[in-house]
Structure formats: structure tokens, C-alpha cells
């Protein structure tokens, strides 16, 4: 189109006529106002038309449930208005891919709680928690030095573990501050719980499984019914995430938990049955994950280590000989 577009400036509004149709563009409400003014100044009439009358809809977006029409996000043809939809429009308008956001929205809309649907994305954005390519999100959790949860000591939070509980056992009241559920948090909350040297894990959570966002601690934590432990932070948690829409995490995250037993020669986990585990000596492993937490032990020392964990109700351990066989 090379035909100039007639327009009139009226305070914070721009009135244009395109294809015999009048449009009033308000500075306060139209997401493209600034770009429209720039296009007018540059006399870029083709860009102006696209800004004022963008493609009417994105059909078959994601699974076909999401579309954007006239700066409105629709879910199954119903307008969807919250922090998530605003950011999706902004990113799409600026040319960023929004596929992870669409997958996140699809997962979120499987959540039966309207309150969670309305609150979750704002919680993530406020606390700089990233969304993964498959539409899940990452969050933090501080745990005991044996990788069980700090509250009950019943849930193993070693890398690769998936913890879950029935949804109706998770407190859905955001006014309940310390209550039942599987907990996750932001970086800012870590200093408010546990000891400074407790391990910090990274969780991957489906938005469909989030139950509530408590209002205490300035909305820095949440409760869910299921999560997967994917990594441990080694260093400053602030450096663990690199992008708001990304499936990766920074190299300060390690994929092997540190040993929990204070032996000088176990700075790093050691593979079961390795050549320098002499005959007559034993390794101790986590029963749930197979991670080696001590090696080159006498049988008595190994049994005492296992017995101590039982007394302290920590993660269950097993004794393994140098051939890789379990020892009773």
C-alpha cells in the first residue's frame, strides 16, 4: 500500500482512516500506540496498516485453544485477561517466539483452581522464575543435608526424584502461611528458611499442579501437589537461571548431590564397585537413587552409618560390597 493514511492527532489519541474505516488509537490502551506514531512520522503506510489492523487471529496456535485477535488473548474463544496474556501480547508484538508461553498457558488451564490460574504467572514474573520449553517452570527448594525436606524429613529431594501427594491434601488457602503441601520458593525466600549451608535444589513444576501462593513473605513461595527435582545449585542461586523463557539453566547448577556423610575421602560421589574399592571394604548408597555417599568403609563403619541414618530418620541407605552386591 502506497496510499497515505489520513489521520488526526487529538491529545493522547490518534484518529486514522484505513480502507474507509475509522480507527481511534489511544495512548493509554493500544499496545502499538508508540509504533503507530513512529510509522506516521516515517510515512511508512504499509507498516501502519499492519499495526492498526494486524492479522485477525492466530489459528491453530499451540493445540488450537489459543488465539490472539485485536490485541486480546482468547482461550477456547473466551477472552483471557491477566498478567500472562499481557506478556504474551507484548512478546508477540515485539517479535519474540511465544511457543513456551502458549504451552505454559495450556498446562495452566488444566489447573482446576481459578485462583491459581489468575495468580501463578504474576508470581513467576515477580520472582524471576523461568518457564521451560515444555511450558513448565523452575523454582527453588532448600532441603536438609541428606536431601530430605526440612519440615518432615519424609520426602527425598535427590536429583531425579519426583515427589507428589493428593491435591486435596494440599492447603489451597493463600492465607494459610505454614501449612500442608509440597513447597517451592523464589530466590528471595531462601534466606528465610533453613541454614545458610543447606542444599538448594531446583524443581521443575507443571503449572497444572500448583495449588496456592501464600501471601506471606511478599508472595515469595508456593504450594503444589507434584514436582521433579532436576538439579542442585552450587554457588549463588541468583546465577542459576539465565532466561525468562528457557529450558536450560546455568553451569553453576550441578547434576550430582554432594555426599552427606562427613568422611575426608568422600569429597565427591564414587561409583559402586570401582577398582580402588578394595576387597573387604564397602560402599554406602542411597537406596532410592543409588548415589554413593561413602566408600572404602569397614563393614562395622558402614553398618553404623546406616543405623545412624535410621535413628535420625534420614534418607534410607544400603551397604554394597566391591562386587556391587547388597550386604545385609
CA–CA distance from 243 to each of 163, 238, 250 (Å)?
26, 12, 9
Rounded to whole angstroms, how far apart are CA atoms 79 and 222? Answer: 27
Question: Global pTM?
Answer: 0.60
CA distances from 35 to 10, 42, 166 (A): 17, 10, 49
Phi and psi at residue 224, in whole multiples of 5°? -140, 175
- The percentage of the chain sitting over the pLDDT mark of 90, rounded to a whole number, equals 27
> With contact defined as beta carbons under 8 Å apart, do 37 and 43 qualify?
no
| Domain range annotation of the chain | 7-52, 118-254, 260-328
> How does pLDDT run across 116-174, given as a tens digit for each residue?
999 999 999 999 898 988 899 999 999 999 999 988 888 999 999 999 999 999 999 98
Q: Is 65 exposed, middle or buried (0-12, 13-18, 19+ CB in 10 A)?
A: middle
Amino acid at each position: 500500500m502506497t496510499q497515505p493514511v489520513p489521520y488526526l492527532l487529538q491529545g493522547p489519541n490518534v484518529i486514522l482512516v484505513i480502507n474507509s474505516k475509522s480507527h481511534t488509537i489511544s495512548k493509554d490502551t493500544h499496545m502499538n500506540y508508540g509504533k503507530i506514531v513512529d510509522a506516521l512520522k516515517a510515512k511508512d503506510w504499509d507498516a501502519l496498516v499492519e499495526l492498526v489492523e494486524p492479522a485477525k487471529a492466530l489459528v491453530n496456535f499451540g493445540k488450537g485453544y489459543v488465539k490472539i485477535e485485536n490485541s486480546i488473548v482468547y482461550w477456547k474463544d473466551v477472552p483471557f485477561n491477566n498478567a500472562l496474556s499481557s506478556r504474551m501480547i507484548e512478546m508477540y508484538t515485539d517479535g519474540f517466539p511465544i511457543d513456551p508461553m502458549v504451552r505454559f498457558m495450556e498446562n495452566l488451564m488444566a489447573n482446576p483452581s481459578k485462583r491459581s490460574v489468575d495468580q501463578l504467572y504474576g508470581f513467576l514474573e515477580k520472582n524471576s522464575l523461568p518457564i521451560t520449553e515444555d511450558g513448565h517452570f523452575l523454582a527453588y527448594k532448600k532441603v536438609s543435608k541428606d536431601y530430605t525436606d526440612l519440615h518432615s524429613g519424609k520426602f527425598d529431594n535427590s536429583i531425579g526424584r519426583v515427589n507428589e501427594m493428593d491435591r486435596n491434601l494440599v492447603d489451597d488457602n493463600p492465607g494459610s502461611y505454614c501449612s500442608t503441601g509440597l513447597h517451592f520458593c523464589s530466590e528471595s525466600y531462601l534466606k528465610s528458611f533453613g541454614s545458610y549451608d543447606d542444599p538448594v535444589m531446583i524443581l521443575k513444576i507443571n503449572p497444572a499442579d500448583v495449588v496456592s501462593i501464600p501471601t506471606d513473605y511478599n508472595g515469595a513461595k508456593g504450594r503444589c501437589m507434584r514436582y521433579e527435582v532436576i538439579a542442585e545449585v552450587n554457588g549463588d542461586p541468583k546465577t542459576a537461571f539465565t532466561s525468562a523463557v528457557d529450558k536450560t539453566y546455568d553451569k553453576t547448577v550441578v547434576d550430582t548431590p554432594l555426599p552427606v556423610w562427613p568422611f575426608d575421602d568422600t569429597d565427591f560421589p564414587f561409583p559402586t564397585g570401582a577398582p580402588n574399592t578394595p576387597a573387604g571394604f564397602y560402599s554406602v548408597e542411597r537406596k532410592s537413587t543409588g548415589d554413593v555417599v561413602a566408600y572404602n568403609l569397614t563393614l562395622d563403619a558402614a553398618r553404623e552409618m546406616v543405623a545412624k541414618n535410621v535413628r535420625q530418620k534420614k534418607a534410607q541407605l544400603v551397604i554394597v560390597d566391591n562386587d556391587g552386591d547388597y550386604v545385609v
